[in-house]
Structures are given as structure tokens and as C-alpha cells.
């Protein structure tokens, strides 16, 4: 049975009272995807299932492939995002896709409204240990903002000058969830978690001398944190950290609404 036939059958079952609207809604979460040429299948219903739409991973795709995927996705989504887009790739995309915006520090390009009002309560605080960690930290910040979350940035507050962090404790105290990005030895998340009352998402970066092994050293430091309440994502995964932080805030909102309704 084709996707169109499946959808028609489901709608007829709802109209005849054989399937409830809630059951139909759950079925639709896994129903459709759309092929783009012979190289991609766009999961249009990912936002229904997870709360976040599919995002384009840039490396390994040609500018023409990325452009075709963006054009298909923009027909159904107010925000379309592609990650790890280098300047030369964006230059090629700019002539192919109208209205494309580029966040150079984050290496993200997107189709998005000029302003996005926060859709959820709470605030994501994002801290970076050093200036060299900014591409990963900005990837997290821009991803969170494009997803409708309020973000507060605090850059270059690593443990080598701990007073820079301690003089900004108000950000740590006001955040609902914290993303802490660090390379080298990766100590900053443990320090922040020792000061914070909210979840801390640690992001190791591949910044560091040879013994950091491309981010493995900070990854192991973060996994071995003596501070409680630290979760760790993969090396350089600012995007994943932002989505996890968003899921934490979305879950808090669900619980608040359920409590208010009871």
C-alpha cells in the first residue's frame, strides 16, 4: 500500500469512527518521508515524534544536494537548518537558495524568520572554556535559538582564570540547564556542576595539544567528573547538546502543564 493509500485509509477510518483522532495522530508520527533525488529521504514527521525537525548534516554532501534538500524541507518547515557548513560551501549555496542565512561562527546556515521569539520557558546557559571552543559553543547556541529556546552566552571562562567564571555566577544561578564546552583537559564542566543547581551538559572539544588525543582527554575527564548532575555528549557535538537541553526544558514544560491541568 502506498503512502497516499495508507493516509486515505487512515482518514476514512477516523471519519467512520473506527479509529480515534488520538490513535490517528500517533500513526501519523511514523507515516511519511519524502525522497529527494536518489540520495536523500526527508523525515517530515520527525518533529511530531521528537519535537525537533530533521536537520541537514553538511559534510559529505555536495552544495547541490544540500540545496535540493533545503528546498524540499522549506515547504513544510518554517525553520530549516544545515550544520557544519564551511564558508566556501555557503558561498556555493547562496546562489542556489533564496533567503539563506549564515551563522559563520556556528558553521550553520538556515532558512528562518529574521526574529524567533522563544517558544518555551526557561533559559539555556552556554559557557565556553576558551575562544578556540567557540565554533562548538556557537553551534549549540544557534541551534537552541533556532529551535525556540532562550539562550545566554558566557565565553572564555576556563579554569586557568577561574575568577572569570566566579564573577559571572549569576548566569549559572539563573539558568534552567547549562551547556559547558571545553577542550584541553576539560575541567570546566566539573567546576560549573559544583556551583549549579540545574543539569549540566558537558561538551568536549577537539581543541588541545597532542596528549588531548583530539578530544578524548576532555571526554574522559567529563565522564569521570566527581561533580554530580553532569551528562556528556560526543566530542564537538554542540548540536546534540542543544537538542538535549531543549528536551529537558520541553519535558519540564509538559510536567508543568500536566500539573496545572490536574
pLDDT, one tens digit per residue, over 107-153 is: 999 988 878 888 888 999 999 999 999 999 999 999 999 999 999 99
Task: Compute the radius of gyration of the chain from its Cα atoms.
Answer: 21
Could you tell me the pTM of the whole model? Answer: 0.84
The reply to whether 69 falls in a domain is yes
The reply to whether 40 falls in a domain is yes
Name, in order, each residue with C-beta under 8 angstroms of 185's C-beta and a sequence gap of 6 or more: 208, 212, 217, 218, 221
SS3 state of residue 202 = strand
Provide the CATH number for the domain around residue 181. 3.40.50.1970
pLDDT, one tens digit per residue, over 22-56 is: 887 776 665 677 677 788 777 776 777 777 778 88
Q: Are the C-beta atoms of residues 86 and 96 closer than 8 Å to each other?
A: no
Grid coordinates given for 79: 525553520
42 and 71 fall within a common domain: yes
Domain finish residue from 111, 131, 152: 111
64 and 135 fall within a common domain: no
* Band of residue 2 on the pLDDT scale cut at 50, 70, 90: very low
pLDDT, one tens digit per residue, over 220-261 is: 999 999 899 899 999 999 999 999 999 999 888 888 878 787
Per-residue pLDDT at 259: 78
94 and 149 fall within a common domain: no
SS3 state of residue 186 = coil
The reply to whether 202 falls in a domain is yes
163 and 142 fall within a common domain: yes
- Report CA torsion sign: 76, 251, 135, 56: negative
248 and 130 fall within a common domain: yes
The reply to whether 2 falls in a domain is no
Other beta carbons within 10 angstroms of residue 163's beta carbon come to 8
End-to-end CA distance of the chain: 42
Per-residue pLDDT at 216: 95
50 and 153 fall within a common domain: no
Give the phi and the psi of residue 202 in degrees, each rounded to 5: -95, 135
Domain span at residue 41?
15-111
- Give the separation between CA 213 and CA 185, rounded to whole angstroms: 11
Amino acid at each position: 500500500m502506498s503512502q497516499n493509500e495508507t493516509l486515505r485509509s487512515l482518514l476514512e477510518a477516523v471519519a467512520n469512527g473506527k479509529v480515534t483522532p488520538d490513535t490517528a495522530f500517533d500513526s501519523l508520527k511514523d507515516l511519511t518521508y519524502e525522497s529527494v533525488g536518489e540520495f536523500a529521504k526527508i523525515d517530515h514527521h520527525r518533529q511530531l515524534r521528537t519535537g525537533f525537525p530533521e536537520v541537514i548534516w553538511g559534510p559529505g554532501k555536495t552544495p547541490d544536494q544540500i540545496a535540493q534538500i533545503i528546498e524540499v524541507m522549506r515547504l513544510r518547515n518554517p525553520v530549516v537548518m544545515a550544520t557544519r557548513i564551511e564558508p566556501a560551501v555557503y558561498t556555493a549555496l547562496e546562489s542556489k537558495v533564496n533567503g539563506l542565512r549564515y551563522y559563520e561562527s556556528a558553521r550553520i546556515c538556515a532558512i528562518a524568520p529574521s526574529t524567533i521569539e522563544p517558544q518555551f520557558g526557561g533559559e539555556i546557559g552556554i559557557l565556553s572554556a576558551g575562544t578556540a571552543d567557540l565554533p562548538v559553543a556557537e553551534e549549540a547556541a544557534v541551534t537552541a535559538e533556532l529551535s525556540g529556546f532562550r539562550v545566554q552566552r558566557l565565553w572564555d571562562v576556563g579554569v586557568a582564570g577561574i575568577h572569570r567564571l566566579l564573577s559571572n555566577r549569576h548566569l549559572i544561578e539563573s539558568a534552567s540547564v547549562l551547556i559547558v564546552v571545553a577542550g584541553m583537559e576539560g575541567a570546566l564542566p566539573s567546576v560549573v556542576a559544583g556551583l549549579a543547581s540545574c543539569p549540566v551538559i558537558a561538551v568536549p572539544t577537539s581543541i588541545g595539544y597532542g596528549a588531548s588525543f583530539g578530544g578524548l582527554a576532555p571526554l574522559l575527564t567529563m565522564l569521570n567528573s566527581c561533580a554530580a548532575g553532569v551528562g556528556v555528549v560526543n566530542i564537538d557535538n554542540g548540536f546534540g547538546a542543544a537538542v538535549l537541553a531543549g528536551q529537558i526544558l520541553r519535558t519540564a514544560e509538559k510536567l508543568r502543564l500536566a500539573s496545572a491541568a490536574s
